[in-house]
Amino acid sequence: MTRKKNKNKSTTKVITEIDESFNNSGSQTTNGCEISEKEKHKKDVKRAGSHNLKLGKSLPQRQLGLEISSSASFSELKGKVSEETLQAIEDMGFTRMTEIQAKAIPPLLEGRDLAGNARTESGKTLAFLIPAIELIVKLKFKPKTGTGCIIISPTRESAIQTFGVLQELMKYHQNTCGLVMDGADRESEAKKLQNGINILVATHGRLFDHLQNTPGFIYKNLSCLIIDEVDRILDNGSGNKLKQIINLLPEKRLNIIFSARSNRQLKNFIRLAIKTEPVYVGGDDSYNMATLKKLEHGYVVCPPEKKFLLLFTFLKKNRNKKIMVFFSSCLSVKFHDMLLNYLDLPVISIHGKQEHKKRTATFFNFCNAESGILLCTDVVTRDLDIPAVDWIVQYDPPDDPKEYIHQLTRIPCGEGESFQGLILLRPEEKKFLMYFKSFKIPVSEMNFSWNKVADIQFQIEKLIRTNYALNLAANDAFKSCVKSYDSHLFKRVFDIKALDLTKLAKNFGLLVPPRVDLNIENFEEIRTRKRNGGDFEHSENQQKTKRLCKFIQPKQR
Q: Do the beta carbons of residue 385 and residue 32 sit within 8 Å? A: yes
Mean pLDDT of 509-519: 85
Q: Which CATH superfamily is domain 289-516 in?
A: P-loop containing nucleotide triphosphate hydrolases (3.40.50.300)
User: 447-466 pLDDT, tens per residue?
Assistant: 878 888 999 999 999 999 99
**DSSP symbol at 450:** G
User: 251-287 pLDDT, tens per residue?
Assistant: 999 999 998 777 677 788 888 888 888 898 886 544 4
- Please give the pLDDT value at position 197: 97
Neighbours of 2 (CB within 10 A): 20
- Please give the pLDDT value at position 181: 92
Output the average pLDDT for the chain. 77
Tell me whether residue 501 is exposed, middle or buried, using C-beta atoms within 10 angstroms of its C-beta: 0 to 12, 13 to 18, 19 or more: buried
Q: Do the beta carbons of residue 393 and residue 323 sit within 8 Å? A: yes
Is residue 235 scored above 60 in pLDDT?
yes
Which helix (H) or strand (E) segment is 2 a member of? strand 2-3
Is residue 510 scored above 80 in pLDDT?
yes
Q: Do the beta carbons of residue 17 and residue 366 sit within 8 Å? A: no
- Please give the pLDDT value at position 523: 37
Backbone angles phi, psi at 300, to 5 degrees: -130, 125
Dist. CA 283–CA 119, nearest whole Å: 8
**Domain positions in the chain:** 33-282, 289-516
Is residue 64 scored above 50 in pLDDT?
no
Dist. CA 278–CA 142, nearest whole Å: 29
Neighbours of 63 (CB within 10 A): 8
- Please give the pLDDT value at position 121: 64
Alpha carbon of 67 to those of 202, 488, 506: distances in Å?
Answer: 32, 41, 57
Dist. CA 503–CA 519, nearest whole Å: 23
Q: Do the beta carbons of residue 442 and residue 321 sit within 8 Å? A: no
Dist. CA 502–CA 312, nearest whole Å: 20
Mean pLDDT of 135-144: 96
- Provide the pLDDT confidence category of residue 373 given band limits of 50, 70 and 90: very high
- Please give the pLDDT value at position 418: 58
Which helix (H) or strand (E) segment is 162 a member of? helix 156-169
Q: Count Cα atoms within 13 angstroms, Cβ side, for 11.
A: 2
Angle at which helices 204-213 and 186-195 pack, to 10 degrees? 60
- Taking the model in full, what pTM does it have? 0.52
Q: Count Cα atoms within 13 angstroms, Cβ side, for 270.
A: 25
Q: Which residue has the higher pLDDT, 1 or 240?
A: 240
Q: Which residue has the higher pLDDT, 204 or 518?
A: 204
Second CATH level (architecture) for the domain 33-282: 3-Layer(aba) Sandwich (3.40)
**DSSP symbol at 282:** E
Region of poorest pLDDT, from 9-13, 65-69, 371-375, 526-530: 9-13
- Please give the pLDDT value at position 363: 86
User: 282-304 pLDDT, tens per residue?
Assistant: 865 444 555 555 567 889 999 88
Mean pLDDT of 365-372: 90
- Provide the pLDDT confidence category of residue 234 given band limits of 50, 70 and 90: confident
Sheet holding 114-117, edge to edge: 177-180, 199-203, 149-153, 224-227, 254-259, 114-117, 279-282
- Please give the pLDDT value at position 34: 33
Is residue 248 scored above 80 in pLDDT?
yes
- Please give the pLDDT value at position 414: 47
Mean pLDDT of 307-316: 95
Same fold yes or no, 33-282 and 289-516 = yes
Q: Where are the alpha helices (DSSP H) in 410-467?
A: 434-438, 457-466
Closest CA to 107 of 85, 88, 127: 127
Mean pLDDT of 309-333: 94
Is residue 161 scored above 50 in pLDDT?
yes
